[in-house]
Structure 1
Amino acid sequence: MKSKILIAIPLLFASTNLAYLAINEFFMEIHYENILLIINSVFMIILMIIYYNSSKRDPLDLYESDGYSAINIPADSFQINAQMLINHFPDFLCIKDKDGRWLGASDIYLKLFNLQDVDYIGKTDAELFHYSNSNVDILKVSFIQDKSAWHLKESVKETRLVILDKERKTFEITRIPIFDKYDNELKLIVTGYFVSQDEKKKNQLELLPKVFETCHLSFMFLDKNFHITEVNTAFSLLADYSNNELIGKPLSFIIKGKLTHLQTDFFTNNSRRLWSGELICLPKSGRGFPVKLEISAINKEDNNVVYFGSLQDITQQKQAEKRIMRLSYYDELTGLINRSMFYDRLRKFISSGKVGNIHGTVFVIDLDRFKIINESLGHDAGNELLKVIAQRLQELIGSNDIAARLSGDEFAVLMMSDQTYEQTVYAASIVAGKISQKLSEVISVNNHDAFIGSSIGISIYPEDCRTTEMMLKAEVLLKNADIARNNAKSQGKNSYQFYNKDFNSVSQDKLLMELNLRKAITKNELKLHYQPQYEAHSKKLCGAEVLIRWHRNNEKMVPPDQFITLAEDTGLIIEIGYWILRTACQQLKTWLDAGYPLQQVSVNVSAQQFNDTNFINLVQKALNESGLAAKYLELEITESMLIGDARFIDLQLQQLKRMGIKLALDDFGTGYSSLAYLKNFPIDVLKMDQSFVRGMTLDSKNARISCAIIEIGHSLKQKVIAEGVETKEQFDFLRKHGCDIIQGYYFSKPLPAKEMTEFLKNDFDKFWMPVKKNPFE
């Protein structure tokens, strides 16, 4: 009984208080919400009186049943049924125990969660959540607000949007925690009501002045003459003026632009409600900056018009737009215009009225050997080189001419001339010669001297642009210059060519070859040939170099120098290179299993393959798939591949060495490396270029160079292979001077795998005793 009193007294006090406040408010201003508040408070008072005066079998007597608290309502109670009173409570009401179990709830509160037909007594929000299908998000987080009320030991309010009778309504909830005199938690009263639209508007209107003043956006009010009547703090800070300095001033005091047009637009167009534009703000400091101004017309009740405006500083936005514009039309690295802008300038030149009296010359410039330098010295060095090239081009052309970077190592120049066609061609040849000479001069990059040549294609407008479609003229002119550039490159590089209509067929042939090469990979048209290698002192076959051949559609063989270069230009060399590596390893494993005592198979590696970060993994994958031991694989690299990032090169080579792979330096003596590379890098074999072999018996200088190469290799404990040996005299000379391995047509041309197998069989029968197992395993 004592606990009941402790519960009832605070509730009675709270209810009486609520009623007093509501009645007081009622006489000040009559609102529906106040009437409901009075009714609710009276209900709560009656409820607490009943609770206090209950008899032996109290309608709200609590007992423990099945592990939870419940409300015992005697059926024969002659007193007012308290549960009925709770049920008919006109607004939201729910009573919970200290553990959050529901002890009673009003009908409208149950309806809110669609729990009218659910036995909710003794259940928590989490348990009722599974029965509810309406406003479940409130039930889901209700326990958080409950905890907050218990923790704060005071009423907690929140406002939520709910759906009731298919309408969205604003619901204000108050949680009142009840404690005994020992501060023990007893009951939690959850009550609430709907907020009417009028009250919402009133609350919103009360907030408007605070929002206006505290908002970080810059706001102002203007009278009908566009004079400032009020500004917020953010506006004053943006303009660098105080409120008093701005009030009463015309908008033109702070904004520079076509304000007269703005006012006229509003005055002459009564339906105009909103104006937006970009203008310049003139702050007190005097340094103007771009702003976005938005002005809305507001009709007052007296039919007068006021204007509400906002200012937004768009300085960063404008800077970003400039950066985007520059990135869209300029090359970030060199500062030259890009391909898109070059096309645009070319089109404007062609469509201008002056075209009938002038000629236009387009130069397309491709850098020779840039890929080698970029892959060898690294991308940073390559970028520095491109900057130097761009600077040299700008120095060579006139102030009215245009230079552009079209792509990686491709540049273009547009020159305009009022001379005749013949004079234009002559002038273009002089300029092309100067460009070729200037770009071939040594360039110092990262303490390395780089030599870059150029292949230049030239087309003349209008002679090399015979098309009736004006929009296509620029594309055709640039395409024809590009075709001429390809022809110059194929003629030996570091040269220039004027466009000739016959070049079109050559260009189409190249495109067709690329398409066929892609098909050749899947159609198994690529075949490996093996050229035998022999020990010089014993004339015993010890290995073979792998060479790729392409028999297109079973027709005439395509020369390797044509399609290998194409594969490198198109990036197909990575895929083809791995296929060569894997196939060669599989073939050698087959021969070794058959008992043929070969010591190695030698595979050429391109610069693109070697610089690929996945190269080491691909080599290991080829060995794993074939089952070939790494000691039988020899990889041939060129001297030019050793120029560049020494740490990366050494890392690649050392990883290959740790795997047990042999490394051969191909075409030794013809590249660009220093003898220091032989000392610094783990090279096992030097391959003497066939250009020295070819003349060694005819030219004493070639003979001495050949001997020197052999001596250098042996002094560094490296084997020496001579390739391109075709005569007995060459073989005898090399054998006499200690060359280790001989390769060339003197012994055999490169053979397909099947013929090579027969060749091995014959050599095996000649020099070796039959064995059942490879003796080198």
Structure 2
Amino acid sequence: MAVAMAARETTPLRDPLERAERRWAAKIAVLYGALVGFWIFIQSGLPLRALFGFELERIGFLQTLNAWFFVLASAWLLYLLVGRHIASIREAETALRLRDRAIESSVNAILITENRGADNPIVYVNPAFERITGYPRADVLGKDPRFLYGEDRDQKGLEEIRAATREARAGHAVLRNYRADGTVFWNDLHIAPVRDGEGRVTHYVGIQNDVTEARTYLDVLAYQENYDTLTRLPNRTLLQDRIGQAITHAERYQTIVAVAIVNVDNFKLINDSLGYQAGDALLKLLAARIQSRVRSLDTVARLGADEFAITSFEHNNARAASSEVRGVLDAVGRPFVINEREVFITCCAGVAFYPQDGQDTESLLKCAHSALHRAKAQGRNVLHFYAPEMDARMNERFQLENKLRRAVDNRELRLHYQPQVDLRTGRVMGAEALIRWPHPELGMISPARFIPLAEETGLIVPIGEWTMRTACMDNRSWQAAGLPPVVIGVNVSAHQFSRGDLVSVVERVLKDTGLDPRFLELELTESVIMENANEVLLTLLRLRKMGVQLAIDDFGTGYSSLSYLRRFPIQRVKIDQSFIKDITSNPDDAAIAKAVISLGHSLRLEVIAEGVESKEQVAFLRAADCDQKQGYYFSRPVPAADFERLLREGRRLVFDEGPAAGVLEGL
């Protein structure tokens, strides 16, 4: 097939037709020769005289008849043979047209080259070749296909193609080729030799498939496997490889490798206040700034969300690596401009060193994370180095988290209630529900240990719903028993607000327990309100419309913005115990407490003081016209059964200016 193409550029695939012609010509020659030989033999008269004893005259007559028979028989045989020949030619031509049409219609580019050793000129290309490469057929016939490679002659796949032509065998490679307009496309090339009757390679057939889209897709996947799509920094996978290379280098040259993990302080506030697009823009700027503060041989990677990692090596001591990380934190402290606004952030960082803190990639990352966790616990903009005792703290935290998860599943948590007393009548008006964890092995675990952990892990959401449901069930049961109705306050965390389903949770709990909404109070801190003020406002308006009471807890310890007291549908503010502790001895605390009480009343809000522990404090608060108090002076937080007994007995706080001030009395 290819030999005929080389000889006849305008009519490819002619070999089968030529072979058919030769076969039928040979058949005609053989048959005709046999017939003529037979005729000559008969014409000689020998067979007639020998077999039948015919005379010459009679033999002459028979020879004449034989001659006519020969003419007729020859004509008939020639007719049959030529007819068969013409039919076979037509069949071959039809097959050739079909093959030719298939090649011309192929979506893959097909080219045929003549084998001339070092040079392999093109003798045929199909229309798909013209479409894919942009080169007209007339411009490429006679040229070596190497022009498709452009200047890119050192591609890895070319060696396979060269080896295939040297060894006269089939070959395959994916190559970068260049179109007529100079654009690049990826060519999935298959070549195969064409041999003549003696086994010599006369031509090569090449089939080209444009796989640019597939190759681009694979490149994108490969990029995504190793790089962060937002910041275009290496991701964790590539970081681990780079750390491994740095360790290998450090082992050879006896140097130090530093692995630092950097985390943005309170990044959620950026997203909530400025929006996620601004948050993404900040991460891009932050990535660029971190890169600008490290050396070109160091690696900066994004591990996820607001966490980055720096791998620095070729240091002779830890001080040099530490100063580099410290420089990064200092640079981060400068303002970023986002949407024409200046945004200030801080970061914490944890650092671990090879070889003293870890001998492999995983251990270094683990130690750096431990150091980061310690830095975050100490505040903002803190740099902390790994120390072995951190592992014990991290393990303790891990164990406590597992125990807390089991406690939630096994219903180990309990609610205690701390009464809230009216400072005018001494009556119990309500209580705050406080979580307690009596662990079967560790005993009573302080809320200061497990509440922050619940916040970090998200367990505060199911714990918060359980607290609300249990408090509402207890309150409803007390009312059903005929006890005086009281308002039970339940703390709400930022996580419960951020989930967006707090209203539906409250509705479901109230419906399931049958409690009137006015006897449920949700307590939230100033920081919860200010983190996403607009969304929180909408949620609080819906809750207030349901009839639920709303209070600001720990007032004065958060953002201390007074505008939200006017904007938000709040009924009560709770003065933080830090201001109550020294109100009888510290004029500043006394002034603050009086100011909060006055401010609350001017906004038609009730004011309750937390942490009241002495009769002197009670006397001060009553003189300042504070509405209610909560604290050990009247009662510690008590189990539900004890609080029910307190209500049933009608106990109240008796006010007396004499020695008996603050005596509990049953009514």
Identify the TM-score tier after normalising by the shorter chain: 0.7 to 0.9
Is 1:284 equivalent to 2:177 in the alignment? no
| 1:416–1:759 CA distance, 2 compared to 1 (3 A) | same
For the aligned residues, what is the CA RMSD?
Answer: 3.0
Contact 1:642/1:673 (8 A) holds in 2: no
| 1:526–1:205 CA distance, 2 compared to 1 (3 A) | farther
| 1:200–1:553 CA distance, 2 compared to 1 (3 A) | farther
> How far does the alpha carbon of each residue in 1:616-668 deviate from its partner, in whole angstroms, 9 at most, with x for none?
22221211221112121111112122234444222222221222211112222
AA of the residue aligned to 2:114 = D
Give how far 1:586 is off. 0.7
Contact 1:688/1:709 (8 A) holds in 2: yes
Partners of 2:91 and 2:617 in 1: CA distance: 105
Which of 230, 234, 252 in structure 1 is aligned with 2:128? 234
Partners of 2:417 and 2:142 in 1: CA distance: 95
Contact 2:106/2:128 (8 A) holds in 1: yes
Partners of 1:577 and 1:643 in 2: CA distance: 20
Give how far 1:744 is off. 1.1
Deviates more, 1:499-508 or 1:350-359: 350-359
Which of 118, 139, 142 in structure 2 is aligned with 1:245? 139
Which of 341, 346, 353 in structure 1 is aligned with 2:243? 346
- What corresponds to 1:219 in structure 2? 110
- SS of residue in 2 equivalent to 1:695: coil
Which of 533, 552, 564 in structure 1 is aligned with 2:420? 533
Contact 2:158/2:173 (8 A) holds in 1: no
| 1:710–1:347 CA distance, 2 compared to 1 (3 A) | same
Partners of 2:288 and 2:484 in 1: CA distance: 59
Give how far 1:359 is off. 1.0
> How far does the alpha carbon of each residue in 1:661-694 deviate from its partner, in whole angstroms, 9 at most, with x for none?
1111222222125322222222222121111222
- What corresponds to 1:255 in structure 2? 149
| 1:577–1:451 CA distance, 2 compared to 1 (3 A) | farther
Partners of 1:642 and 1:287 in 2: CA distance: 56
Partners of 1:449 and 1:708 in 2: CA distance: 34
| 1:698–1:608 CA distance, 2 compared to 1 (3 A) | same
| 1:753–1:493 CA distance, 2 compared to 1 (3 A) | farther
Determine which structure has greater relative contact order: mean sequence separation of CA pairs < 8 Å that are 6+ residues apart, divided by chain length: 2
AA of the residue aligned to 1:364 = I
Please, which runs of 5 or more residues in structure 1 have no aligned partner? Answer: 1-198, 468-472, 768-777
Give how far 1:463 is off. 1.4
- What corresponds to 1:763 in structure 2? 650
| 1:761–1:460 CA distance, 2 compared to 1 (3 A) | same
- What corresponds to 1:399 in structure 2? 296
Q: Which has the higher helix share?
A: 2
- What corresponds to 2:84 in structure 1? none
| 1:417–1:220 CA distance, 2 compared to 1 (3 A) | closer
Alignment of 1:473-512 (within 5 A): 473-492=360-379, 494-512=381-399
> How far does the alpha carbon of each residue in 1:544-587 deviate from its partner, in whole angstroms, 9 at most, with x for none?
11111112225332221221111122121111111111111111
Which of 235, 255, 265 in structure 1 is aligned with 2:163? 265
Deviates more, 1:409-418 or 1:370-379: 370-379
| 1:600–1:278 CA distance, 2 compared to 1 (3 A) | same
Contact 2:161/2:172 (8 A) holds in 1: no
| 1:263–1:562 CA distance, 2 compared to 1 (3 A) | closer
| 1:453–1:562 CA distance, 2 compared to 1 (3 A) | farther
Aligned residues: 558
> How far does the alpha carbon of each residue in 1:410-434 deviate from its partner, in whole angstroms, 9 at most, with x for none?
2222222442xxxx33334444544
Contact 1:377/1:645 (8 A) holds in 2: no
- SS of residue in 1 equivalent to 2:650: helix
Give how far 1:605 is off. 0.8
Partners of 2:642 and 2:487 in 1: CA distance: 18
- What corresponds to 2:636 in structure 1? 749
- SS of residue in 2 equivalent to 1:352: helix
- SS of residue in 1 equivalent to 2:259: strand
Give how far 1:591 is off. 1.2
Which of 332, 336, 345 in structure 1 is aligned with 2:233? 336
| 1:287–1:430 CA distance, 2 compared to 1 (3 A) | closer
- What corresponds to 2:64 in structure 1? none
Is 1:630 equivalent to 2:517 in the alignment? yes
Percent identity over the alignment?
36
AA of the residue aligned to 1:322 = D
| 1:267–1:373 CA distance, 2 compared to 1 (3 A) | closer
| 1:606–1:348 CA distance, 2 compared to 1 (3 A) | same
Which of 403, 407, 410 in structure 1 is aligned with 2:307? 410
Alignment of 1:99-498 (within 5 A): 206-225=97-116, 226-256=120-150, 257=153, 261=159, 264-270=162-168, 272-273=169-170, 275-299=171-195, 303=199, 305-352=202-249, 355-375=252-272, 378-419=275-316, 424-439=317-332, 452-465=345-358, 467=359, 473-492=360-379, 494-498=381-385
AA of the residue aligned to 1:342 = L
Contact 1:377/1:644 (8 A) holds in 2: no
Partners of 1:202 and 1:620 in 2: CA distance: 84
Give how far 1:456 is off. 2.4
- SS of residue in 1 equivalent to 2:420: strand
Deviates more, 1:758-767 or 1:480-489: 758-767
Partners of 1:507 and 1:727 in 2: CA distance: 40
Please, which runs of 5 or more residues in structure 2 have no aligned partner? Answer: 1-89, 655-667
- SS of residue in 1 equivalent to 2:348: strand
Give how far 1:453 is off. 4.1
Contact 1:375/1:608 (8 A) holds in 2: no
| 1:494–1:592 CA distance, 2 compared to 1 (3 A) | farther
Is 1:513 equivalent to 2:400 in the alignment? yes
- What corresponds to 1:703 in structure 2? 590
Contact 2:454/2:460 (8 A) holds in 1: yes
Which of 639, 646, 660 in structure 1 is aligned with 2:547? 660
> How far does the alpha carbon of each residue in 1:363-410 deviate from its partner, in whole angstroms, 9 at most, with x for none?
222333334554565444443443343344233323332222222232
AA of the residue aligned to 1:616 = V
Contact 2:416/2:436 (8 A) holds in 1: yes
| 1:377–1:758 CA distance, 2 compared to 1 (3 A) | farther
- SS of residue in 1 equivalent to 2:551: strand
